[in-house]
Structure 1
Amino acid sequence: MDSARDELFSGTVSVDKVIEFYLETNPWDVQPTTITSYRTRLRHFQQFCEEQDIQDLSEIQPSHTDEYHNFLRNKSQLTSRKSIKSCLASLRKFFRYCERREVFEQGFHKYVILPSITKTENGGDTWLPREEAKEIVEYLGKYEPFSKEHLIWALLAETGVRQSTLHAFDLEDYNSEERYIDVVNREETGTRLKNGDAGQREISISSEAAEALDGYIQAKRNDITDEYGRDPLLTTSNGRLQKSTIRQYVYAWSRPCAIGKECPVGEDPETCPAAQTNNAAYDCPESVSPHPVRRGYITHLRANGVPTADVISDRCDASPDVIEQWYDMCKKSERREARRSYVEGL
């Protein structure tokens, strides 16, 4: 086996064979889903090499990296700078592997320049898939149990409430025995709901979310009142937790590297500026604010056939029309299948 490996990296270093070997051996020990993403992205590089009649990896020159960037810009299926950056990041990581195998000189991967992506370029339709939100909750439950961060993520991922609603919760709003939270409009004492009294409702929660709430209240919550004499659910030593702090916690823990996942855009967490402090988390192109968590939760409900008018609208305090226009990231085919599963067998 070792001689076969040595043969692969001696003489003519085949682009296709080395990429396939790289993906099969998984030198970075990443998840199978990540390997699938690498395969899709590196296929563009293989197409580029084919067009340029490059069969030997060692023929790649620094100028080819700029030409490849331009090649990606002209690909019709890559419609955003973020998609292009992901392809370049995967190539950069592959080149780092090739440096280890002495195909390229050390540092060659740095010729692959990653474009900067702003939050605006990420678009107004950003959303965090429910599965990713659950991963974050599970990580915090294991490594930061009953912390404010754990509770904030558990409630956002579980209920899809707005940041302002989470900020408004009082201790008395939580019913541990029956597992629900009463959403109350208290405009006169500083916490108006977005839709005022019309936004008042009771939200049921799972036993896991209730466990996070109970643990936080018993072990971590500061026993303190706010300036109105109310007992906030989420507190600091000075009073009610600020909305800006809730937002910061969401940005911080939605960075993939924060929960031990590989950076999708190829940055090293040891040196990436956005990975050094929570205050810098906004600069990570993968981090999100609370609203995409809400959008991902509603999309999850819709994708699973939960009735919009009777359930989602009331639970999430948004009209069916608003949900249809702004919150549902499902494809038409996914909506169709969700409706099918809901009505079949009735």
Structure 2
Amino acid sequence: MSKTADTSTDEPQTNQAESDLTDFLAERAELRVSFEEPDDDRERRYDRLPVARTQAGNQADVSDFPSGKSHGRGNFSKKTYTRYRDTVNDIIQSQDVSDLMEVTPREINRWNQLLQRRDYARTTRDGKLETLEVFFKWAETEWRAPRDDKISETIARKRNDLNVSGDEKSRSGDDNHRISSERAEEIIGHLAKHHYASRQMVEFLLIYHIGCRKSALLSINCSDVKPRKGTIQIRNRPEESGVRLKRGNKGERDVNISPEIMAVVTDYIEEHRSKPNDGSDALLTSWAGRIDDSTLYRDIAGLTKCGECSDDDGEPLTKQNASDCPESIGCHDLRRVVITRMRDEGISWDTISGRVNATVQMLKQHYDSPRSRERQNDGKPRF
């Protein structure tokens, strides 16, 4: 049975920005909306978010939302509600916004940079900015955000800078932003020959071998590597590592590692790992400590750039600006390559699900193509 809204006085008070968001959502979803801790097990970036409830107090299900077709213009289906809820709540929480009237272009810029660090594709960032733009246009007409220095226009300029075409949007999610398995094998071969057991080689190998998310990769400590067992432990220790697994404690697991890859990881730890000044036990380090997601992104983009692109001065792209190469990809795109490869090789959904820590339902929704069904066989992941 769904629980009713918690009215405990121990709950943090809703600030003005959060109240504006609940008003926006409630009006369009035709439901009661309030900030609270969600009572389901789905992935959440923050502990509190707007929860929609029926007049009876039950958490709203799909059937409780307007369809958008049988109701007046502007009413939200549950999918649309979730998109606006998560996008606007993200900027409110991540940028510590308490009042929309105090939002400046600086907060918008910082949030846009945060989306980049999270390794979102340009089409995804454009979609999130578009959602935020609609929300701020509403807030401006309601006098809940500045009407003179319009934030919605700042957001529109950010979208113009991305310059995402309609054709790109229609292709987002297909094979237009990934590399082939053959190209991945070439990268691994080059690393083995010229940069054996480097940090970049370990990063690329573990994503390509495990299909893990970047949060899982960044969370690994040296002590999590178990050569005798042939496993790497993935644990959720945000207080220690500063990295939270996307699914929290549910993302914890022990992953089997092939002897060849385990040898590379152990050689890296013993010979090439930077000893951080903070004494961290992190697997992936610089001199300062555990690397962050922006460093990981640059490493992967640097490995996957084509090598022929140049900057405005005609100089070859470096790791720092490798993302300017249209063939470069980030960690999330490499993970997609791995999942598709596993599926093409006939590995079962249950096995893939356990390895990459994603539900079978989600995997089937995004990766079950006619091509993968036709190419099923009994193969195993390659080195």
TM range (shorter): 0.5 to 0.7
- DSSP-derived class of the 1:182 partner: strand
Alignment RMSD (CA, Å): 2.7
The whole-number CA distance in structure 2 between the counterparts of 1:270 and 1:191 is 33
- Give the superposition deviation at 1:331: 4.1
- Give the superposition deviation at 1:178: 2.1
1:289 matched to 2:330: yes
1:123 matched to 2:172: yes
Out of 171, 183, 195, which is 2:234 matched to? 183
Cα 1:201–1:240 change in 2 (3 A) is same
- Give the superposition deviation at 1:131: 2.5
The whole-number CA distance in structure 1 between the counterparts of 2:164 and 2:330 is 10
> Which whole-Å deviations, capped at 9, do the CAs of 1:264-303 have from their partners, x for residues lacking one?
xxx5x69885833211111100100111110010111111
The within-5 A match list for 1:1-346 is: 121=168, 123-125=172-174, 126-189=177-240, 190-224=242-276, 226=278, 230-257=280-307, 263=308, 275-309=316-350, 311-326=351-366, 328=367, 331-338=369-376
The whole-number CA distance in structure 1 between the counterparts of 2:197 and 2:272 is 7
Cα 1:274–1:148 change in 2 (3 A) is farther
The gaps in structure 1 that reach 5 residues or longer are 1-116, 258-262
Q: Conserved in 2, the CA contact under 8 Å of 1:221 and 1:235?
A: yes
- DSSP-derived class of the 1:287 partner: coil
The whole-number CA distance in structure 2 between the counterparts of 1:151 and 1:167 is 12
Q: Which amino acid aligns with 1:321?
A: Q
- DSSP-derived class of the 1:136 partner: helix
- DSSP-derived class of the 1:275 partner: coil
By percentage of residues, which structure has more helix?
1
Cα 1:305–1:200 change in 2 (3 A) is same
Q: Conserved in 2, the CA contact under 8 Å of 1:274 and 1:283?
A: no
Cα 1:219–1:321 change in 2 (3 A) is same
Q: Conserved in 2, the CA contact under 8 Å of 1:248 and 1:278?
A: yes
Q: Conserved in 1, the CA contact under 8 Å of 2:280 and 2:290?
A: no
Larger radius of gyration: 1
- Give the superposition deviation at 1:128: 2.6
The whole-number CA distance in structure 2 between the counterparts of 1:252 and 1:272 is 19
Q: Which amino acid aligns with 2:336?
A: R
Task: State the percentage of identical aligned residues.
Answer: 30
The gaps in structure 2 that reach 5 residues or longer are 1-161
- DSSP-derived class of the 2:205 partner: helix
Q: Which amino acid aligns with 1:206?
A: S
> Which whole-Å deviations, capped at 9, do the CAs of 1:14-42 have from their partners, x for residues lacking one?
xxxxxxxxxxxxxxxxxxxxxxxxxxxxx
TM-score normalised by structure 2 residue count: 0.51
> Which whole-Å deviations, capped at 9, do the CAs of 1:168-189 have from their partners, x for residues lacking one?
1001100012221001011332
- DSSP-derived class of the 2:233 partner: strand
Higher RCO, 1 or 2 (CA under 8 Å, sep at least 6)? 1
Size of the aligned set, in residue pairs, is 212
Cα 1:207–1:166 change in 2 (3 A) is same
The whole-number CA distance in structure 2 between the counterparts of 1:273 and 1:241 is 30
The whole-number CA distance in structure 1 between the counterparts of 2:220 and 2:332 is 17
The whole-number CA distance in structure 1 between the counterparts of 2:184 and 2:346 is 20
- DSSP-derived class of the 2:376 partner: helix
The whole-number CA distance in structure 2 between the counterparts of 1:165 and 1:285 is 26
- Give the superposition deviation at 1:138: 1.3
> Which whole-Å deviations, capped at 9, do the CAs of 1:246-278 have from their partners, x for residues lacking one?
100111110122xxxxx5xxx5x6988583321
The whole-number CA distance in structure 1 between the counterparts of 2:190 and 2:283 is 22
The whole-number CA distance in structure 1 between the counterparts of 2:276 and 2:315 is 33
